[in-house]
A and B are shown apart, each in its own frame.
Chain A
Amino acid sequence: MVKRPFRRQKVADALLGYLFISPVILVIGTFTFFSMIYAFYLSFTKFDMFSSPLWTGLQNYRLLLGNPDFKRAMLNTVYYAVGVVPTQTLIAIGLAVLLNQKARGIPFFRAAYFVPTITSTVAASFIFMWLFLKQGVINHTLSLLHLPADNSWLENPLTAMPVLMLSAIWGTAPHFMVIFLAALQDIPQTVYEAVEIDGANTWQSFRHVTLPLLRPAIFLVAVLGTIGTFQVFDQMYIMTRGGPLDSTTSVVFLIWRTAFQDFNMGYASAMAVVLFAIIYALTILQRRTIDTNIQF
């Protein structure tokens, strides 16, 4: 007899638990979980938003294999990732090591370095467009150094992408700097004292102690950076519209254009599924390495 109300209370408590998580389940379930399954389904259909989806099997994927625009967008995205990730990772390490020095006023500099990451992509894009105008600050600086200074950076297919890369590096390197800073502060001071006693100089202790101990963080940042660069869209939309001559069309930009300008929803979904497969592979790679590598 005592048991019964207790059990009822337990059931009521469980129901309350479901109630508490229901908003999250509804939102994530609909707009992420179901949305991903729906994207898979759409990738096997022809769908223009106006008539109902028509099942076409693997047709979209077959078309995708021979599509030069998709190949171009993939190559552009890889180029962008290769241009951004190693550079921003190195800069982030450099900034973190510098901020890890013992000097007065470090918190001020840390805040100053962090400012670009809070600038929106829209504002950052405008700033870089303006700096790289033909009569802009960058060309002026180049002319002071007696270098060729009449390039219209964003209208030149060779230089448009590097400008987008620079704006991305400017905006995200400080974000990863914080991750390195946390990793550096986790390295016990005793390790440095030990190598100092062994007669190591600053460079040697950096090369043989700091860098190896930062390896998990470097890997994490490299993978997170790659995943991020594979999703680039805003800068292309705002600064170049994928041009000139499609030299800055990224995969996500192509997906967006295919879906919302050509209303080819099924085809765009197939591209999205391929992109997902690539990013998923990178994430798995990251998880595996993090699990085995995290302790030192």
Chain B
Amino acid sequence: MRTLQSQEIAAKERPHTGQPQKERLQKERPRPGRRLTYTITVYALLVIIAAITLAPLAYTISGSFKTNAGVLEWPPRLIPKPPVTSNYAEVWNSSPLFPRWIVNSVFLALVHVAAELFFASLAGYAFARMKFPGRDLIFMIMLGTLMIPPPVTVVSKYIIVARLGWVNTYLGVIMPTLVTVFGVFLMTQFIRAIPKDLDEAATIDGCSRFGIYWRIVLPLSKPALSALAIFAFKDSWNEFMWSLTVLNSPELFTLPLGLNYFRGQFYTFWNLVLAGSMFNIAPILIVFIIFQRYFIKGIAMSGLKG
């Protein structure tokens, strides 16, 4: 026991006894066998976890190409046999409402993204660069509202929207999240970090406030705007609870609401339900594949916002 301890101490002290240089050199070039085991383990884990993560999605895509008999077949197979593409056409033609839901969702998402980018960056510019009484207090109170989770105010928000006569309209869906505190915060922080020299030069040249915002600050804010645009698009495209509360005419439904409605009618036809879901998943997946670094950057930013 004692020898073991003294060996441990000796091992710990070795760096101080004149050998560290040599040992570091050895560490930097580990034995090739060990390095290989490490690489194999890492890749094995990476692949297994990717398979688990993506399996539900893989089965969904495969299910959307199966016949109704095939989708409930026992045992279920991953590769459809025979693969059919008719589900997509059948979902699309199931009712004139289906294409409408897609158009509605695209419309609402575009409005939401445009409004969020414009109003959040405009307010961010004001909070970061302009001086007016109460600025910091307003900013603090605004950040304080981040502590109010949306479901807590769903009832009172609905009553306000009803008083305004916006129930079952797009105004009712859009207005409460026209611009978000997160967006304003993100833009304010980003604009604060842009060097002031440029806008000062522009002021001397006689550029107006709006001109500075539009021609100088906005172009320099592209990274933050991109992250914000993608988040706003995702939130709007996938939103469920609020539009469910406000909308009740099926022709006004967004795609998530429509899909839920559709499933109510076709609940035994899982091949159709899964093909319908693909209309919701595919666009956001494509956006993600193109802009994935902004997605991940945006989460890191939002996670650190505290």
Given that A98-B46, A128-B56, A220-B303 are contacting pairs, would A27 and B281 also be in contact in the complex, using a CB cutoff of 8 Å?
Answer: no
Q: Which of B80-88, B89-97, B115-123, B219-227 contacts A (4 or more CB under 8 A)?
A: B115-123
Contacts of A233 in B (CB 8 A): 151, 241
Given that A24-B184, A265-B159 are contacting pairs, would A17 and B135 also be in contact in the complex, using a CB cutoff of 8 Å?
Answer: yes
In the assembled complex, A252 has its CB within 8 A of some CB on chain B: yes
Q: Does B304 lie within 8 Å of A126, measured CB to CB?
A: no
Q: Which residue of chain A has the shortest Cβ distance to B270 in the bound complex? A: A130
A181 to B59, CA, bound (A): 28
In the assembled complex, B292 has its CB within 8 A of some CB on chain A: yes
How many residue pairs link A and B with beta carbons under 8 A? The number is 281
Q: Which B residues have a C-beta under 8 Å from some C-beta of A?
A: 11-12, 14-15, 20, 23-24, 27, 39, 42-43, 45-46, 49-50, 53-54, 56-57, 59-60, 63, 71-72, 74-76, 119-120, 122-123, 125-127, 130-133, 135, 138, 141-142, 145, 147-160, 162, 175-179, 181, 184, 209-210, 213, 234, 237-238, 240-241, 244-245, 256, 259-260, 263, 270, 273-274, 277, 280-281, 284-285, 288-289, 292, 295-296, 299-300, 303-304, 306
Partner of A178, one of B122, B241, B273, B296: B296
Q: Does A112 lie within 8 Å of B54, measured CB to CB?
A: yes
A286 to B304, CA, bound (A): 12
A65 to B240, CA, bound (A): 30
Q: Does B274 lie within 8 Å of A126, measured CB to CB?
A: yes
Contacts of A119 in B (CB 8 A): 57, 238, 281, 284
* Most chain B beta-carbon neighbours within 10 Å: one of A20, A112, A170: A20
Q: Does B159 lie within 8 Å of A38, measured CB to CB?
A: yes
Partner of B133, one of A14, A27, A95: A14
A182 to B14, CA, bound (A): 34
Q: Does A17 lie within 8 Å of B292, measured CB to CB?
A: no
A105 to B142, CA, bound (A): 42
Q: Does A182 lie within 8 Å of B304, measured CB to CB?
A: yes
In the assembled complex, A175 has its CB within 8 A of some CB on chain B: yes
A181 to B296, CA, bound (A): 10
Q: A27-B179, A174-B53 are in contact. List 12 more A-B contacts (CB 8 A).
A: A14-B130, A20-B123, A23-B122, A36-B153, A39-B153, A118-B234, A121-B256, A123-B60, A127-B56, A143-B75, A178-B296, A224-B303
Kindly list the 9 A-B residue pairs having the minimum CB-CB distance in the complex, ordered from nearest.
A120-B238, A20-B126, A17-B132, A14-B132, A31-B176, A179-B303, A17-B130, A39-B156, A38-B156
In the assembled complex, A242 has its CB within 8 A of some CB on chain B: no
In the assembled complex, A110 has its CB within 8 A of some CB on chain B: yes
Q: Shortest distance in angstroms between A90's beta carbon and chain B's nearest beta carbon? A: 13
Q: Does B72 lie within 8 Å of A197, measured CB to CB?
A: no
Contacts of B175 in A (CB 8 A): 27, 31
Interface residues on A, range: 35 or more
Contacts of A28 in B (CB 8 A): 142, 145, 179, 181
Interface residues of A in 175-227 (CB under 8 A from B): 175-176, 178-179, 181-182, 196-199, 220, 224, 227
Contacts of A115 in B (CB 8 A): 53-54, 57, 285, 288
Q: Which of A56-64, A78-86, A134-142, A156-164 contacts B (4 or more CB under 8 A)?
A: A134-142
Contacts of A36 in B (CB 8 A): 145, 148, 152-153, 156
In the assembled complex, A34 has its CB within 8 A of some CB on chain B: yes
Q: Does B151 lie within 8 Å of A30, measured CB to CB?
A: no
Q: Which A residues have a C-beta under 8 Å from some C-beta of B?
A: 10, 13-18, 20-21, 23-25, 27-28, 30-36, 38-39, 42, 47, 49, 95, 98, 101, 103, 105-106, 109-116, 118-124, 126-128, 130-131, 133, 135-137, 140, 143, 170, 174-176, 178-179, 181-182, 196-199, 220, 224, 227, 230-231, 233-234, 237-238, 252, 255-256, 259-260, 265, 268-269, 272-273, 275-276, 279-280, 283, 286-287, 290
Partner of A279, one of B11, B133, B149: B149
Partner of A103, one of B43, B126, B147, B241: B43
Contacts of A269 in B (CB 8 A): 155-156
Q: Does B303 lie within 8 Å of A255, measured CB to CB?
A: no
Q: Shortest distance in angstroms between B272's beta carbon and chain A's nearest beta carbon? A: 11
Q: Does B181 lie within 8 Å of A113, measured CB to CB?
A: no
Given that A231-B151, A252-B151, A272-B153 are contacting pairs, would A182 and B300 also be in contact in the complex, using a CB cutoff of 8 Å?
Answer: yes
Q: Does B281 lie within 8 Å of A120, measured CB to CB?
A: yes
